[in-house]
Structures are given as structure tokens and as C-alpha cells.
Structure 1
């Protein structure tokens, strides 16, 4: 039985929307408990591991591998979003992630980085096949919907469909959908698990992520929840690829409030 750790959730309240460059990640996490020297074997192995992920992941949109021996051994995973697999943006995203994570976490043997189109993670501890909700990040729009009752009902139904899609093997952990709220308003949502998770674990991770919609996001017009094994998102504007690539898909705060929640 796998144990899921809920040690902390970082909440970012998004107060504004604007576009950003594709090379900018949504978020990153550097595990300060895994500090290492830049000249150590671990650091050398991180570079080699990332090179493997950059080489292997774009062909299928996913790669999970390890590199090194003994205490210097590292485990890594890179995955593109389900609707981006097979596009040049998948390859570009993995390359950006590998480069940026080394700049942001130069001295850690454990790190994660999230982009709109991909996710990359490495650690000195074996994590393949394990649900990781030990660290989470939540972005949400401070504006509320105009019809909360209908919105909550439609979002709940849509989320159920997405979770059901994500656990179907052929969908590779990804589910997406949309629902008409009014003649002028459409709700878009998707969810994705890392492909190393078993069906039951994927379902469990998505359930934990979606649970934040009610407890933290409330009736907000948009919300996304990022974990180390899955992430979910909904918005009132198109977010699916390739439409999202040319829209205000990326959120950046004009002013950001960060709060660390301890259970």
C-alpha cells in the first residue's frame, strides 16, 4: 500500500492575467533537504539524467529512467501534456524544463518543474509508480463566477468525465472536456497523471487534486492544481492545444500572495 504524504501546499492567488514567454515555467520546487555540491558525482549524474530525458521523452511524450550507482544514483521523469504529445512544442518544452531546472535548483538532488505543456522531475529517491502529493501548488483567479450553483454542478460533472478518461490506458493518463454554461460562456477543463501511476493511483491523485477546487478555489473563474504525480485545471476560456498556444493560456500575477499551508 502506497503512502501519500501531504506535507505542504503552496497557494498562489492570481490577481491578474497576461501572457508570458513559452520558456517561463509555471512553478518549480527545489528540495532543500537534498543539497549537494556542484562538483559532486550527483551533480554530474543529474546532467546525464536530464540529457537522457531530453533525448527520450519527446518521441512518446514520456520517459522515466535512472542514472548512476550507489548513493549517487538518481531517478527522473519527464512528460508532456496529453494533447501536446507528437508536436514540436513537446520537445521544446522538455528541453526548456531541463535547462531551467538546473538553473533554478543548481545544488539540489531533488527537484520538480511545471510548464503548461510539460512536467519534469528528478530525485535521489526512487519515486516511479508512487503517488506524490507531498508538495502542491495552486493557482486561482480572484474573480468569482456569476452563477455559482450552476457552475459547481457543471464542473463536478465535467471533472467526473475527465477522471474517467484519464484512467483509460489508451489515454495515457490524460482527460479533457468542456461544458456549455450559457450561450456566451463555456467551461474548459483537463486533468493528467504521470504515466508511471497505476489506474487506481491515478484516480486517487486526481481526486486529491480536484478536492482543492471546493476547499480552496471556491467559485473562482479559473483554477489549477499542480502535484508531483498529477495536475488538474479549469478555465472559462480555451486551454486545449493548439488553441492554448495562441491564447492567454499562461497566468502571471500582477501581484502574487504566497501562503504555505501545513496540515
Structure 2
């Protein structure tokens, strides 16, 4: 009988893991991928700039536009003026947007406690503030790439189909999706292990359609430079966001298909090539999110 003493503990652990999964699915997952505290001056804890920044950040979640998930506002004068932009991923429900951006506005203060200029990319939103004017201005930097550590089976075949998909999304996001400026779609690939690509592109609504197209073009070009061969990539910029995966990651019920038709996928494979520059990596995405959420909850 002594050999079974561990059984109650094992059953409890299994039940706890299931409970954590259920509970965590009901609340926003606090995953923060990247942030940058930019070198554009500092503020002190009792300064007017700090007061203005706190007021701005606290107003985002309740005032963000539920039609396009975008918010911009400025408070203060001269050197104490704070300018802020926030953007939720376009496939979110309004309540989700408010919850996620609330998490992000709290986190950016922790990550950049006294910088006058900072940006944070959350899993589902972006928050950015500055002591310089940022609304209506295209910003391609800072740029942050991230890619999966897993490779596709045949890089040439997969990335050829990816190019077709991203070209279609590019036009729709930039010119045919006002006011949200986003597009998402899937495309089949002649790859036995990863037969489908899911891609998503979005720009901040304050830039022009031409500027949106320019930002997305730069991001698409960056994929080959940083992450060639990866089965999932994110290119993060202040003015636009590009991501593709081999697993579903966006809410397809909130997505309008691009109007530009795409040719059928190529049937014949080609020789493979692979090459990557520096960038941040991530494991299988859904598993990574789950494990982070589990440990974060238990802690």
C-alpha cells in the first residue's frame, strides 16, 4: 500500500493543472514580448511630466476607440507635454481590447520607469508614448523581429507561397480596410509538416495608406534578412505589425478576406535554402503561451 501514497498528490496536481487552464482562459494572458525605453530624456517621480503620463495611461482602457482599437491623446505643454498612441490587434472584441491594453499600460511603466519615450508590444496590443509629436507620423523604428526556432520543411516552397499571401494582405491592409488598416488570411503550402500559413498585417490608423504600405513592405523584406526558414515570424514596428505562423493565432470571425485574388499554391518543391541573422527566437507558440501562463498563475 505504501507504494500508492503518491496517488492523492498526483491526482491533486492533475486537477490543479486543469483548473489553472480553465481559470486562465477566462482572463487576459499577460505576455509581453518586447519593449524599448528610448534615450530621449528622463523625468522625475514628482514632475509634471510624470503626472501627465500617469493621467494618459490611466485613460487608455476606458477611452480606446472600440471601432478600430486605436487611441491617441496628448496632455501638457512644452517640455511637460506627453503624446500617447495605443493600438489593439484588429481581431479582438472591444472588451478584450480594453483588458489587454490595461495590462500593457501598467507594464510599460514597470519596464521604463523614468524614460520620457518608450514603446511596448504586448501579445495583443501596442502602447507608445513620447515627449515628441508621434500622431500621424510614420515610424519604422525601433524594429523588433522574433522568429520560431522550428524550420519549415522546404524554405523555397514555403516562402514562395508566403510572398504571395503577404502581397495580397499588403494591398488590403493599406488601401481597402479602413478604418482599421489590417488584413489576415490563410494559404495552403505543399509542405507535408506545415501545410498552411496564417498571416496578419496591421498599421496604426493615423498614418496614410501609402505610409502603411511602405511600413509593411519593409517588414516583409525583413523576414528574409532575419528569419529565413522559420515557420513563424513577427516583425514589430511602431507604425505596423506583421506576423505569420503555421498554426491559427487570430480570430477568423473578425477578419474580412482580402479582395485581391491569389493564384493557387505551387505543386512542385524546389531546393531548400536557409539563413538567419540575429533576432529573438521563440518555441512552439501556443505551448509557450500556455506554460508561461501556468507558471505565472501558480507564482
TM-score (norm 1): 0.81
2:164 to 145, 157, 160: 157
Contact 1:165 1:171 in 2 (8 A): no
1:45 to 52, 71, 90: 52
**Counterpart of 1:103?**
110
| Greater RCO, 1 or 2 (C-alpha within 8 Å, sep 6+) | 1
**Counterpart of 1:241?**
251
**Counterpart of 2:216?**
206
Gap runs ≥5 in structure 1: 1-18, 255-263
Which structure 2 residues correspond to residues 179-198 of structure 1 after superposition, within 5 A?
179-182=187-190, 185-198=195-208
Alpha-carbon distance between aligned partners in 2 of 1:250 and 1:234, rounded to the nearest angstrom: 17
Alpha-carbon distance between aligned partners in 2 of 1:249 and 1:130, rounded to the nearest angstrom: 34
Gap runs ≥5 in structure 2: 1-23, 254-283, 292-299
What RMSD in Å do the two structures reach over aligned CA positions? 2.4
**Counterpart of 2:16?**
none
Which structure 2 residues correspond to residues 1-263 of structure 1 after superposition, within 5 A?
22-57=29-64, 59-60=66-67, 61-84=69-92, 86-167=93-174, 168-170=176-178, 172-182=180-190, 185-241=195-251, 248-249=285-286
Q: What is the CA distance between 1:41 and its match in structure 2? A: 0.7
Q: What is the SS of the residue equivalent to 2:64?
A: helix
Alpha-carbon distance between aligned partners in 2 of 1:131 and 1:170, rounded to the nearest angstrom: 17
Contact 1:58 1:91 in 2 (8 A): no
Contact 2:151 2:231 in 1 (8 A): yes
Q: Which has the higher helix share?
A: 2
Q: What is the CA distance between 1:135 and its match in structure 2? A: 0.9
Q: What is the CA distance between 1:250 and its match in structure 2? A: 7.7
Tell me the number of residue pairs that the alignment of Structure 1 and Structure 2 aligns.
231
Contact 2:76 2:82 in 1 (8 A): yes
Larger radius of gyration: 2
Q: What is the CA distance between 1:215 and its match in structure 2? A: 1.2
TM-score (norm 2): 0.72
Q: Which has the higher strand share?
A: 1
Runs of 4+ in 1 over 3 A off after TM superposition: 247-252
Alpha-carbon distance between aligned partners in 2 of 1:108 and 1:44, rounded to the nearest angstrom: 13
Deviations 1:61-97 (A, max 9, x none): 111111111210111111111111x342111011001
Distance 1:171 1:187, change over 3 A: farther
